[in-house]
Amino acid sequence: MPLIENGRIIEDRFVRVSDEDALPEGVPVLIGIDRFLKEAEALKGRQAPVGVIWPNNRPIAEIERYLGQLSLIALNFPIFRDGRAYSQARLLRERLGWKGPLRAVGNVLRDQFLLMQRSGFDQIEAAKEADAQAFDEAVHRYTVFYQPATDERPSLLRQRLGRTPRG
């Protein structure tokens, strides 16, 4: 599945490894939560980068103690209609101060790209090739944003100030 970072399709450096398989040496890996929690101590000694797929049903605040040993955090969209990861993403960025890569994985579709970007995701693993090609269009559909979020886009709450109301 194509991986988009800051608007460009990039090569995924991370290898996704299941809980049963051995971790390959010297390669960045992305692993599930069960394995990560079980091996968190041992993983601290690992030379190559480690990323985790944090599940929707575990409070994101619990990730705080591990942030120092993580190089990538992925949040899951089991179905595009499940929006828990948006809150997790914003809390990671705004509350826990995560500056590293934050990836949206799962049933990630074009019509949600903009919401993901606004919530702090900088990597998007698109479920469909055609959606990845349309990324630029999808995140530039709107020029007007009513509310402040995690991204840098100015919100109308502030933009409107200091000008005379017009009809």
Partner 1 sequence: MYVYDEFDREFLAERVAEFRDQVARRLEGTLTEDEFKPLRLMNGVYLQLHAYMLRVAIPYGTLNSDQLRRLAHVARTYDRGYGHFTTRQNIQFNWIRLEDLPDAMAALAEVGVHGIQTSGNCIRNVTTDQWAGATPEEFDDPRIWAEILRQYSTLHPEFTYLPRKFKIAITAAPKDRAATKVHDVGLRLHRNEAGELGFEVLVGGGLGRTPFVGKLVRPFLPVQHLLSYIEAIMRVYNQYGRRDNIYKARIKILVHEIGAEEFSRAVEAEWESIRDGALHLTPEMIAEIRARFLYPAFEAAQDQPAELVEALGDERFATWYANAVHRHKVSGYAIVTVSLKPIGAPPGDATADQMEVVAALADDYGFREIRVGHEQNLCLPNVAQKDLPALWRRLDAAGLATPNVNHISDIIACPGLDYCALANARAIPVAQEIAKRFSDLDRSRGIGRLHVNISGCINACGHHHVGHIGILGVEKNGQEFYQITLGGRADEKAQLGTLLGPAVSYEQVPGLIEDVVDTYMELRAGPHELFIDTVARLGVEPFKERVYAAH
Which residues bind to partner 1, rule: CB under 8 A? 59, 80-84, 86-88, 90-91, 95, 109, 111-112, 114-116, 118-119, 130, 141-150, 155-161, 165-167
What one-letter code names the amino acid at 43?
L
Closest CB 65 distance from partner 1, rounded Å: 18
In the bound state with partner 1, the residue whose beta carbon lies nearer, of 35 and 110, is 110
> Distance (Å, rounded) from C-alpha 67 to C-alpha 134?
32
Report the candidate in 101, 119, 113, 10 with the shortest Cα–Cα distance to residue 52: 101
Closer residue to partner 1, CB minimum distance, 23 or 109: 109
Q: Which two tokens stand for residue 94?
A: 């705004």
Tell which residue, 153, 139, 97, has the closest CA to residue 6.
Answer: 139
Q: In this complex, which beta carbon is closest to partner 1, that of residue 123 or of residue 150?
A: 150
For residue 9, the minimal CB distance to partner 1 (Å) is 19
CA distances from 41 to 46, 69, 128, 160 (A): 10, 10, 36, 50
**Least spacing, CB of residue 51 vs partner 1, in Å:** 22
Query: Shortest distance, CB of residue 18 to partner 1, whole angstroms?
Result: 25
